[in-house]
Structure 1
Amino acid sequence: MPIDTPISHHVSTHDAAADDRNDSILIYVDGQIVPRDDAKVSVYDSGFMLGDGIWEGLRLYDGVLSFLDAHLDRLFEAALFIDLDIGMTRAELVEAIWATLHANAMHTDVHLRVMITRGRKRKPFQHPHLSIFGSTVVIIAEHSRPDDSVITRGIRLHTVPHHRGLPLTQDAKLNSHSKLNCIIALNHALRAGADEALMLDPFGFVNTTNACNFFIVRDGAVWTSTGDYCMNGITRQKVIDLCRTNEIAVFERNFSLLEAYGADEAFLTGTFGAQTPVFEIDGREIGNSTAGPVFHRIRRLYKDLIAAQIEAAGS
């Protein structure tokens, strides 16, 4: 089966057009750029053994890494929080990212995953002091153009009992390798016949999905969660900022499923797909199963923002 071949009928916010070039990409592993089949880490690695690591997803558009500084800020803040020494400065990490892209002759429509773990352990236990060999850094860059048919097909959400919790358990703002809570939530939604899981916050308010930030539109105004219990998404913040600078009413607030079910529009945001419309929540149709005017306006504004960033980089 080709690597990019879908394995189910479900729609995903990460659906991409198949690209055979990804079968032979070169991957960065701890200073070496190696063929995909040779890109390996130890079974003693903290990321494999314990999910002890952090990551970022990046997009390359026409030679520009979109919102790179914001992504690096989030990555290094996460490293500080979990006491992880990345072992590279920001400049060195950026150099490694560009080296990976250049080795693959990549220029646009590329998705990158930058992964950093606490590294190889001396023994198979969780104590961080057993990671004595330094961090593991892996950079995967793939030719990846989002499948725009998702705009007409839409995403179906199912509300799950698993929530994105309080910071005193595992802070939802931490982009960690430990994604099991979200995977369990997604499996629950898939078994219900949906595409992604809608997750509530600890108090029962609508929060986020297992993979993306969630927005609704009511009477022309855009609503999203308070942001207290969800990933501090880069695209989420850009959408909020675009609304504020383009006279689109936007609110970060608590709202319930009752208000989500009655929304005129709903959509998701994330680095890969940018904005993706939601057509169904728990079997309730949203917006007559079509992407609405507010969604399309925000999507155009976001594309213009990317275009302006590319133009500024070339000037």
Structure 2
Amino acid sequence: MTDSHVSTHDAAPDARNDDIRIYVNGEIVHRDEAQVSVYDSGFLLGDGIWEGLRLYDGHIPFLDAHLDRLYEAALYLDLDIGKTRADLTQAIWDTLDANGMTTDVHIRLMVTRGRKKKPFQHPHLSIYGPTIVIIAEHSKPDDSVIERGISLFTVPHHRGLPLTQDAKLNSHSKLNCIIALNHAVRAGADEALMLDPFGFVNTTNACNFFIVRGGAVWTSTGDYCMNGITRQKVIDLCMTLDIPVFERNYSLVDTYGADEAFLTGTFGAQTPVFMIDGRVIGGGKAGPVFHRIRAAYKKLVDEERS
């Protein structure tokens, strides 16, 4: 087991975060005063949904797509957010303005079913809801991870069928992913590579996973993983760039023999993978397809801002 690990969420410490102000149910207060009840559905049961957003140069890329996913999840969960999209968007900007934030910010938007009357499971006990919290932190991704890469370890914990808990839900119930990550860290890796219920390569505990073989980009079918906004943008970019891209079932045999591998997520955008289960991928460096996609994604984000 190694002493230190790389993460797709690595960022340099920023002292400004010691005094940030947080949105809690309509009030924006200092982080030391931000409180949620111990009776809250999210605390008691993980009964909530969330989105991770980025602020780049005064703009939040793909905000509409994130809100689409949030409201779709709320509909599925019978969770009344209690705010229109316009109102929720304004709350995000109010939080950013209260902190004087303009760029290199990570935003965590969380909605739970709210405070319960009693500490039990039934949704009808959540009579004081919903609870909405927005945490915005100064957080710039550590670009040195492009040179260091990420190592993965395939864990026995898989992403389950939708009839148990649909992995497409960005829910507060992340215990399956946390257990998977702990398993990988104990094996000396940075993150966990998770399979689907049939043994095909699926995703990691925190990000979507891609490989490159013969110049073509492969990712999972998306049936058993969070269909990330960045994941879809990469698929769309591949089509624009005439890079063959496939959403398909594939195994560890295909993965170990890949020319390149990388992860996608809102915070780190694209992160190269250099090792999987002790096997070096792509000579232990970021490959040409990765760099081409990363450059195109950066351009896309810049165009969103204009």
> What is the TM-score when the length of structure 1 is the normalising length?
0.96
1:3 corresponds to: none
What do residues 96-132 of structure 1 show as CA deviations (whole Å, max 9, x unaligned)?
Answer: 0000000000011110000000000010101000001
1:93 corresponds to: 88
1:78 to 73, 78, 82: 73
1:208 corresponds to: 203
Say which SS state the counterpart of residue 156 (structure 1) adopts: strand
Say which SS state the counterpart of residue 64 (structure 1) adopts: coil
Matched, 1:257 2:252: yes
CA distance in 2, matches of 1:12, 1:23: 22
CA distance in 2, matches of 1:139, 1:258: 42
Matched, 1:268 2:263: yes
Matched, 1:190 2:185: yes
Report the alpha carbon displacement of residue 310 of structure 1 after superposing the two structures with TM: 1.0
2:50–2:171 CA contact under 8 A, matched in 1: yes
Matched, 1:291 2:264: no
Matched, 1:20 2:15: yes
Report the alpha carbon displacement of residue 17 of structure 1 after superposing the two structures with TM: 1.4
**Aligned letter for 2:300?**
L
CA distance in 2, matches of 1:288, 1:19: 34
2:273 to 278, 288, 295: 278
2:166 corresponds to: 171
**Aligned letter for 2:303?**
A
Report the alpha carbon displacement of residue 51 of structure 1 after superposing the two structures with TM: 0.3
Percent identical pairs in the alignment equals 80
Say which SS state the counterpart of residue 276 (structure 1) adopts: strand
What do residues 195-227 of structure 1 show as CA deviations (whole Å, max 9, x unaligned)?
Answer: 000000000000000000000000111000011
2:112–2:129 CA contact under 8 A, matched in 1: no
Say which SS state the counterpart of residue 11 (structure 2) adopts: coil
2:194–2:203 CA contact under 8 A, matched in 1: yes
CA distance in 2, matches of 1:134, 1:219: 51
What do residues 73-117 of structure 1 show as CA deviations (whole Å, max 9, x unaligned)?
Answer: 000000000000011111110010000000000011110000000
CA distance in 2, matches of 1:19, 1:250: 38
2:299 corresponds to: 304
What do residues 32-65 of structure 1 show as CA deviations (whole Å, max 9, x unaligned)?
Answer: 0000111110000000010000000000111111
> What is the TM-score when the length of structure 2 is the normalising length?
0.99
Say which SS state the counterpart of residue 222 (structure 1) adopts: strand
1:68 corresponds to: 63
1:35 to 26, 30, 37: 30
2:50–2:111 CA contact under 8 A, matched in 1: yes
Between Structure 1 and Structure 2, how many residues are aligned?
304
Report the alpha carbon displacement of residue 68 of structure 1 after superposing the two structures with TM: 0.2
RMSD value over aligned CA atoms? 0.6
**Aligned letter for 1:248?**
I
CA distance in 1, matches of 2:105, 2:169: 24
Say which SS state the counterpart of residue 259 (structure 1) adopts: helix
Say which SS state the counterpart of residue 280 (structure 1) adopts: strand
**Aligned letter for 1:124?**
P
Report the alpha carbon displacement of residue 28 of structure 1 after superposing the two structures with TM: 0.1
1:122 corresponds to: 117
CA distance in 1, matches of 2:112, 2:277: 37
Flag structure 1 segments of 5+ consecutive residues without an equivalent.
1-7
